[in-house]
Every structure is written in structure tokens, then in C-alpha cells.
Amino acid sequence: MVIGVAASLVGRLADIMQKSGLYGYLAMGIGMFLEGSSLPFPGTLVLVLSGFFVKHYRLNPLIMLLLGSGAYTLAAFIPYYIGKHMNDFAHRRFEKTMDKHRDKILMVEEMFHKYGEIAVCLSRPTFLSNYFSYIAGMHSMRRSKFALYTFLGMTPWVMLMGYLGYQLGHNLDDIQRIVDSTGSLLGLVVGVPLIGVMIIQYMMKRNKKR
């Protein structure tokens, strides 16, 4: 009897969530938290589907935006603190993982030194974003700045992917094609700002020499 009552309550709760669109909010929050924690998770798919949820369930796009960027930013402190408090035990625990991704870690380390903390912001839409969270922690980047740069870096990407999902919300096949083709889009989103930073740095060095 107790099991039957519990099952009935769960069913009613699920029905309420579906009608109110809470599924969409939960999917966004949980999905982006998993993505930000550096677990292997298709965060881009969640972002594109968020536009689908906004269109079909009439969800609040601002809440979805804040949930996506906020959940990712909060979860990014997991790899941040792992990097910040890396000790001998943690190093042994993650030694295999670090060896497996050593090339990417070294590349991120070099970019962090070259471009500074702003690289944390510019890297957020890329596959290197979680590596930057570890490196930022290892270099004791200020938590407030890390949170701000992470949030600012993710927000345009959340908006862009959500907008694409909204425009193509009637066709899930189109959404899947967008997710599969985001590699070239990432290059534009990240490459252009990086080139801009490089040009600014070059001009500043040139002016100093004068």
C-alpha cells in the first residue's frame, strides 16, 4: 500500500513538473552542472535542447540562461579546487587521468601563461574549458574573478545555442545536426577573440618599445 501511494505521488509530481515545464529547468541545471564539473557530458546538446524547451513549454528564457551559466560556474569550482589543493594523494589518484591528457594540460598551461586569466573566459565554449578550471586552481586565481570570467564566458554560448534550438525547435533532426557541427562554430567564437587579444598585446608591446 505504501509503495502504491509513493508511486502515485511520484506520478503526480512528474505530471506537475511536465505541465509546468520544470523538466526543462531541471535538465538545464543538472546538465550544465555535470558539464562544468568536468565529467564527460554532452553539454552542447543540453543547451540546444533548452531552446526547444523554451519554445514548446513556454519557459522563461532568462531563467534558462541564468540556470545554464550559473550551474556551469558553480560546478567549475570542483576542478578548480582539485587543482588548487592538488596534493600527493590527489596526484596519485588522478595520475592516470593526468597522463592521458598531459598534452592538453601542457597546452592549456602555456595558453594561461601567455594570455593571462582572461583565457579562462575565452576558453569556456571550447573542449579545453575544464582544463582551464584545473589550471586556474593550480595558479590560485582569485575565486571571484574565476567565477566572473567563467560566467561571462559561458553566457554568450548558452544564449547562442539556446537561440539555435529555439529557431529549430520544431525539428529534432536539425538540432542534432547543429550539435554535430558546433566544432567549426567554436573555432569562430573563440578564435576571433583570441586573435583580438593577440593583436592588442602586440600593439601594447610595440608602444612600450617606442
At 191-207, the pLDDT tens digits run: 444 444 444 444 555 55
Q: What is the pLDDT of residues 121-133, one digit of tens each?
A: 888 877 778 888 8
Q: Could you tell me which of 44, 67, 22, 2 has the C-alpha nearest to residue 164?
A: 44
The residues, ordered by sequence, that sit 6+ positions from 95 with a Cβ below 8 Å of its Cβ are: none
Q: Which of 8-17, 22-31, 167-176 reaches the highest mean pLDDT? A: 22-31
Domain limits for position 75: 2-209
Do 157 and 48 form a contact (C-beta atoms < 8 A)?
Answer: no
pTM over 0.85: no
Rounded to 5°, the CA angle 155-161-165 comes to: 140
Domain count, the chain: 1
- How many C-beta atoms surround the C-beta of residue 146 within 10 A? 23
Residue 107 CA to residue 123 CA, distance in Å, equals: 12
Please state which of the ranges 2-16, 23-37, 59-73, 156-170 shows the lowest mean pLDDT.
Answer: 2-16
Instruction: Check pLDDT > 70 for residue 184.
Output: no
Identity of residue 97: T
Orientation angle between helical segments 61-84 and 143-167, nearest 10 degrees = 140
**Residue 38 — pLDDT band, cuts 50, 70, 90?**
confident
Mean pLDDT of the chain: 73
Percent of the chain at pLDDT exceeding 90: 19
The pLDDT assigned to 173 comes to 61
